[in-house]
Amino acid sequence: MINIAIVNDYKLLREGLRVILDEKNNIKIIMESSNRQEFLEALRNTIVKPDIVLLDIRMPVLDGYVTTKFISEKYPEMKIIVLTMH
């Protein structure tokens, strides 16, 4: 099972990705966040961490560039895929 986190400020995009990915048997969406602050709170409050983070570059409350650096330093095992309209 591949655990996925979606971090994007557009709710409609998060919902669309969930619909597409929920159809896959080997993928599980374990968290959704609209910004870095929500994502970090979710990480602190869960035992199971995402294997992959689908991350937007432009978000309120610290953008994806800062979030990418943080993830790379604190959670080097997590892979990041940037999905952005930027």
Q: What local confidence, expressed as pLDDT, does residue 58 receive?
A: 76
Q: What local confidence, expressed as pLDDT, does residue 62 receive?
A: 66
Q: What local confidence, expressed as pLDDT, does residue 2 receive?
A: 96
Q: What local confidence, expressed as pLDDT, does residue 66 receive?
A: 82
d(CA 51, CA 78): 5
Q: Which CATH number do you get for residue 51?
A: 3.40.50.2300
Q: What local confidence, expressed as pLDDT, does residue 64 receive?
A: 74
Mean pLDDT, each 10-residue run in order, the chain (86 residues): 93 92 94 90 93 86 79 94 79
Per the structure block, which two tokens stand in for 78?
Answer: 């997590």
**Domain assignment of residue 78, given as a range:** 2-82
Give all strands of the β-sheet with 27-33 in edge-to-edge order. 27-33, 2-7, 52-55, 79-82
Q: What local confidence, expressed as pLDDT, does residue 70 receive?
A: 87
Number of domains in the chain: 1
